[in-house]
Amino acid sequence: MDRLTIGFIGVGIALILMMVRVPIAIALGLVSLCGIIVLRGAESGFGVLGSAPFDFAASWTLSAIPMYLLMGAFAYHARITSALFDAARVWFGRLPGGVAVATNFACAGFAALSGSSLATAAAMGRIAIPEMLRLNYNPGLAAAAAAAGGTLGALIPPSIMLVIFGWMAEVSVGRLLMGGVVPGLLTAVMYSAMIVLRCSLNPSLAPRLEERPTWGDRIRVLGPVWPVPVLVMAVLIGIYGGIVTPTEAGAFGAFVVFVMALARRSLTRSVLFESLREALISTSGIFFIAVSAIIFTRFLTLSGLPNFLSQFVSGSGMEPLTIVLVTSVIYLILGMFLDPLGILLITLPILIPVFKEADIDLIWMGIILIKYIEIGLLTPPVGLNVFVVKSVVGDRIPITQIFGGMVWFLAAEAVIMTLLIAFPAITLTLPNLMMGR
Where are the chain's structural domains? 62-433
pLDDT of residue 10: 86
What CA–CA distance (Å, rounded) separates 353 from 310?
Answer: 6
275-311 exposure pattern, b = at least 16 Cβ within 10 A, e = fewer: beebbeebbeebbbbbbbbbbbbbbbebbbbbebbbe
pLDDT digits (tens, 9 = 90+) for 3-24: 888 888 988 888 888 778 788 7
pLDDT band at 385 (very low <50, low <70, confident <90, very high): confident
pLDDT of residue 419: 95
**Is-cis flag, bond preceding 381, omega within 30?**
yes
Residue 436 has pLDDT above 60, yes or no: no
pLDDT of residue 80: 65
What CA–CA distance (Å, rounded) separates 90 from 344?
Answer: 38
pLDDT digits (tens, 9 = 90+) for 236-249: 777 777 777 767 77
Residue 361 has pLDDT above 90, yes or no: yes
**Contact, 388 vs 118, CB < 8 A?**
yes
What CA–CA distance (Å, rounded) separates 145 from 121?
Answer: 9
Q: From 13, 357, 420, select the one nearest 180 (Cα to Cα).
A: 420
Q: What percent of the chain has pLDDT over 70?
A: 93
CA angle 158, 77, 390 (to 5 degrees): 80
pLDDT band at 371 (very low <50, low <70, confident <90, very high): very high
What CA–CA distance (Å, rounded) separates 92 from 107?
Answer: 14
Q: Under the phi-then-psi rule, with left for phi > 0, alpha for psi from -120 to 50, and beta for the rest, what region is 207? A: beta
pLDDT digits (tens, 9 = 90+) for 255-302: 888 887 887 777 788 888 888 888 888 778 777 777 887 788 788 888
CA angle 105, 193, 155 (to 5 degrees): 45
pLDDT digits (tens, 9 = 90+) for 47-92: 877 777 776 666 666 777 788 778 777 777 766 666 777 778 788 8
pLDDT band at 150 (very low <50, low <70, confident <90, very high): confident
pLDDT of residue 81: 63
181-208 exposure pattern, b = at least 16 Cβ within 10 A, e = fewer: bbbbebbbebbbebbbebbeeeeebbee
435: exposed, middle or buried (C-beta count within 10 Å: 0-12, 13-18, 19+)?
exposed
Mean pLDDT of all residues in 18-33: 82
CA angle 332, 334, 336 (to 5 degrees): 75
Q: Mean pLDDT over all residues of the chain?
A: 82
